[in-house]
Amino acid sequence: MDTYASSLGRIKAMVSGFLKKDQYSSLLAARDVQEVAKLLEGTWYGAEITQAMGAAQGAEALEVAVNRQFVKLNRFAYNASPFAGRPVVGAYLRRWDIENIGVILSAKAYGRLVSEGESFLVSDREVPAGLSAGLLSIDDLRILLAQSSVEAVANQLVKFGYGSVLLQRLDAFNDSRDIFPLIQALEKQYYEQLLSMARFFQGDEWVVRQFLAAEIDVRNLLVVLKAKDHKMSSEDLAPLLFDGGTYAAKALLDLANLASVQEVVGSVGTSLPLADGLPMYNESGSLTGFELALRRHQSEKNLVRMRQYPLSLAGIFGFLLQADVERSDLRKIVYGKVYGWSGERIAKDLVSTRLA
């Protein structure tokens, strides 16, 4: 545990910057995006908002500012990690490489402008979008954005270890023009490498492994729901499921063999709050409510658990998860204001306000 004592001190000094419940209450009560920006000027987002406003306005400027601060927090956590835990933290942070690559591949596949792709990268446009632990610098991402096609992007990514899984699937993409299998292959590679890194070397990494297993469960359950909604066969579904979660592949395929999305939700029961997503699905056919409910539940559960083990790898991951939750909650507030939702409507989807 002494290994993490210095890390804990640095983390505790930074945690005070996270938004408090009363600040969220003020943000939820704000009239519009402009008032949200004004309220955030007195927080650690203030300098980033001022800078972002020089190049963008409204919700886009706030998203850029929030992303900039998020990048800094992730880099801080990586640098605060002791030598023994840093490879695991670095492997975890490569998720933002995957997210950025996915945005770029989608832009190339569907003929979007380069400027559209860049505005949604998890980057402040001046620091590495893949974070200091990732493989891709902002210059690397700009090179990818400049490529003319999905194939050209895949070839550029070979030297970073991402390209080979993409090149193996290019023929299928060219036939179907479906970008999902490419992104799914990247995500599968990511989780396989991350789980192999999160080995037991101190004895308390089980908390982090539980967190990663919960992430995979959320991802697999959402894939099952989507497959059921699209009437996909179990044979077609099986290759899309990832190993490493707490749900066995057979249990997931059994869920997929049920008659409807509603039956899948009923079969899962109360262990997970899937039922919270049913009203939206029944009304509009959208699966978004299920994703929001699952991610909200798992984030809250894992944050509480990680805080019980501050002198361990869980302390670092708890900080990373809290940063991710705050970013997600702020984006929900900003775009909730854009869509004209009430504070009460937005509050239902927040995680930060549920924590002590």
Any idea what the CATH number is for the domain that residue 291 is in? 1.20.1690
The answer to whether residues 139 and 158 belong to one domain is yes
> Is residue 154 classed exposed, middle or buried when 0-12, 13-18 and 19+ CB atoms within 10 A define those classes?
buried
The answer to whether residues 104 and 127 belong to one domain is yes
Supply the pLDDT for residue 131.
38
The answer to whether residues 152 and 245 belong to one domain is no
Cα Dmax for the chain: 55
Residue 279 corresponds to which amino acid? P
Looking at the structure of the chain, the number of domains it has is: 3
pLDDT in tens, 299-351: 999 999 998 888 888 999 999 999 999 999 999 999 999 999 999 999 988 99
Domain that holds residue 97: 93-199
The answer to whether residues 239 and 149 belong to one domain is no
Collapsed DSSP state (helix, strand, coil) of residue 154: helix
What is the number of other CB atoms lying within 10 angstroms of the CB of residue 275?
Answer: 16
Reference 354, options 304, 300, 281, 313; nearest CA is 300
Contact 305, 207 (CB under 8 A): yes
pLDDT in tens, 122-138: 544 443 334 334 678 77
Mean pLDDT of all residues belonging to the chain: 88
- pLDDT(32) > 50: yes
**Where is the domain boundary, 139, 166, 199?**
199
The answer to whether residues 214 and 300 belong to one domain is yes
**Where is the domain boundary, 174, 199, 224?**
199
Give the model's confidence band at 214: pLDDT under 50 very low, under 70 low, under 90 confident, else very high: very high
The answer to whether residues 254 and 333 belong to one domain is no
The answer to whether residues 285 and 325 belong to one domain is no
pLDDT in tens, 239-288: 999 999 999 999 999 999 999 999 999 999 888 899 999 999 999 999 99
> Which one is predicted more confidently, 103 or 289?
289
The answer to whether residues 127 and 209 belong to one domain is no
The answer to whether residues 68 and 123 belong to one domain is no
Supply the pLDDT for residue 129.
37
The answer to whether residues 186 and 105 belong to one domain is yes
Indicate the pTM of the whole model: 0.89
- Cα separation, 319 vs 325, in Å, equals 10
- pLDDT(147) > 80: yes
Supply the pLDDT for residue 120.
56
The answer to whether residues 146 and 59 belong to one domain is no
The answer to whether residues 184 and 266 belong to one domain is no
**Sign of torsion over alpha carbons 310, 312, 317, 319:** positive
What CATH number did the domain enclosing 350 receive?
A: 1.10.132.50
**Where is the domain boundary, 151, 183, 199?**
199
